[in-house]
């Protein structure tokens, strides 16, 4: 029920923004774009998806060659659809990724470990990206204005996020699921699903701990790859502002992209960050000297990109699910055809 309430609020905020700025003004700004421009705007996000799929492949270890890269990309795209459309702190699609890996002969423990590690390295890279963006924002906007104070407050928020990530990595090293089970029991709660899967969850813990002990090089390499994936967000900002006809610079595009990621992450509890992300983007671009019309046109173009990838993600989900079932059926048929002794 809360999800629908937040969704309604988000839609209301977005509608009020469009009404306040003026549908005609927004249409006039968007009319400058043609089909070719819309296709070009999608290229940075395509690069981002490809680069981030490779960042995941790095942490798959000995199973990296088991799943072809295009299938790994499809699985990740399918999982991201769930992350983008549900209020689950962008975590709801991660179990789905591990499940789909299992259907391609990757054991659940190893698949779940790769998902946890990849989410960790991606988040670390995201924080580094935001920190660089904040530094550039302070350099470009200064610290004396209200904008500078806002950026400084953002920096403090990111500091808390850094501490949270450090704590999350520490818990992983000690045993992520063991810690969760221990906390639940200390609270006097009994969750049947967790207790019935305890052996399996502890097996995942051991696999994660083994990864941190023996694959540190791959861990850091994945962070670097994911960082370049986040940089593609800034490339998208630059391309969109260029087509909207506004003045653009590489440094401001980098900062806007990073701060937009922070705004989106801060509104994770709203389905699709609807309203909050759009309003935040308008205010962000105003801070960098753009008009409110350009700001909302920018926000709506990013929504267009999200809708395209939601559609692609749903197609990928149908494709990898069907493909996995087909392979599983064939494997079962081969087992059934074996002569019995």
Does 335 have pLDDT greater than 60? Answer: no
Does 9 have pLDDT greater than 50? Answer: yes
Does 14 have pLDDT greater than 70? Answer: no
Residue 340 — very low, low, confident or very high, per pLDDT cuts 50/70/90? very low
Residues 202 and 214: their CA atoms lie apart, in Å, by 18
Lowest-confidence segment of 173-182, 247-256, 291-300, 324-333 by average pLDDT? 324-333
Residues 17 and 293: their CA atoms lie apart, in Å, by 10
Does 219 have pLDDT greater than 90? Answer: yes
Counting every residue written for the chain, the total comes to: 341
User: Residue range 17-29: average pLDDT?
Assistant: 67
If one compares 292 and 270, the residue with the highest pLDDT of the two is 292
Query: Nearest-CA neighbor of 116 among 211, 22, 202?
Result: 211
Question: Per-residue pLDDT tens for 87-102?
Answer: 655 567 888 898 888 8
Tokens 């081969």 sit on residue? 334
Does 304 have pLDDT greater than 80? Answer: yes
Mean pLDDT taken over the chain = 81
Residue 4 — very low, low, confident or very high, per pLDDT cuts 50/70/90? low
The overall longest dimension of the chain from CA atoms, in Å, is 82
Question: Per-residue pLDDT tens for 138-152?
Answer: 888 776 555 556 666
If one compares 336 and 39, the residue with the highest pLDDT of the two is 39
Query: Nearest-CA neighbor of 49 among 218, 221, 233, 217?
Result: 233
Lowest-confidence segment of 178-182, 253-257, 310-314 by average pLDDT? 178-182
Handedness of CA 110, 116, 118, 120 (dihedral sign): negative
Contact 148, 141 (CB under 8 A): yes
* Per-position DSSP letters for 110-166, written without gaps between them: HHHHHHHHHHHHHHHHHHHHHHHHHHHHHHHH-SSSHHHHHHHHHHHHHHHHHHHHH
In which element (H, E) is residue 5 found? helix 2-21
Does 336 have pLDDT greater than 50? Answer: no
If one compares 292 and 329, the residue with the highest pLDDT of the two is 292
Q: Please give the share of the chain, as a percent, with pLDDT higher than 70.
A: 75
Does 230 have pLDDT greater than 90? Answer: yes
If one compares 267 and 40, the residue with the highest pLDDT of the two is 40
Does 48 have pLDDT greater than 50? Answer: yes
Does 186 have pLDDT greater than 90? Answer: no
Question: Per-residue pLDDT tens for 235-249?
Answer: 999 999 998 887 788
pLDDT at 283: 87
Lowest-confidence segment of 6-15, 32-41, 76-85, 112-121 by average pLDDT? 6-15
Residue 334 — very low, low, confident or very high, per pLDDT cuts 50/70/90? very low
- State the pTM of this model: 0.82
């Amino acid at each position: 029920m809360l999800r629908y309430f937040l969704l309604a609020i988000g839609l209301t905020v977005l509608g009020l923004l469009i009404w306040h700025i003026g549908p005609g003004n927004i249409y006039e700004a968007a009319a400058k774009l043609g089909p070719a421009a819309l296709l070009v705007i999608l290229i940075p996000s395509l690069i981002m998806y490809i680069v981030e799929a490779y960042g995941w492949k790095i942490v798959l270890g000995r199973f990296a060659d088991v799943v072809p890269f295009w299938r790994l990309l499809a699985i990740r795209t399918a999982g991201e659809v769930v992350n983008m459309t549900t209020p689950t702190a962008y975590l709801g699609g991660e179990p789905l990724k591990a499940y789909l890996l299992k259907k391609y002969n990757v054991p659940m423990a190893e698949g779940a470990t790769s998902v946890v590690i990849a989410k960790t390295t991606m988040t670390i890279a995201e924080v580094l990206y935001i920190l660089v963006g904040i530094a550039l924002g302070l350099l470009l906007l200064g610290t004396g204005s209200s904008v500078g104070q806002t950026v400084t407050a953002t920096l403090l928020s990111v500091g808390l996020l850094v501490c949270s990530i450090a704590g999350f990595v520490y818990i992983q090293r000690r045993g992520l699921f063991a810690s969760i089970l221990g906390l639940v029991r200390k609270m006097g709660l009994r969750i049947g699903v967790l207790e019935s899967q305890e052996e399996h969850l502890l097996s995942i813990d051991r696999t994660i701990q083994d990864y941190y002990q023996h694959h540190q090089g791959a861990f850091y390499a994945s962070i670097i790859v994911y960082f370049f994936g986040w940089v593609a967000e800034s490339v998208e900002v630059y391309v969109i502002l260029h087509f909207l006809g506004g003045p653009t610079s590489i440094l401001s595009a980098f900062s806007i992209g990073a701060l937009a990621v922070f705004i989106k992450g801060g509104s994770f509890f709203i389905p699709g960050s609807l309203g909050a992300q759009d309003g935040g983007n308008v205010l962000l671009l105003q801070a960098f000297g753009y008009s409110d019309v350009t700001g909302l046109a920018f926000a709506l173009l990013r929504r267009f990109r999200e809708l395209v990838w939601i559609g692609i993600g749903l197609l990928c989900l149908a494709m990898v699910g069907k493909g996995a079932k087909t392979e599983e059926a064939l494997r079962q048929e081969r087992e059934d055809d074996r002569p019995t002794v």
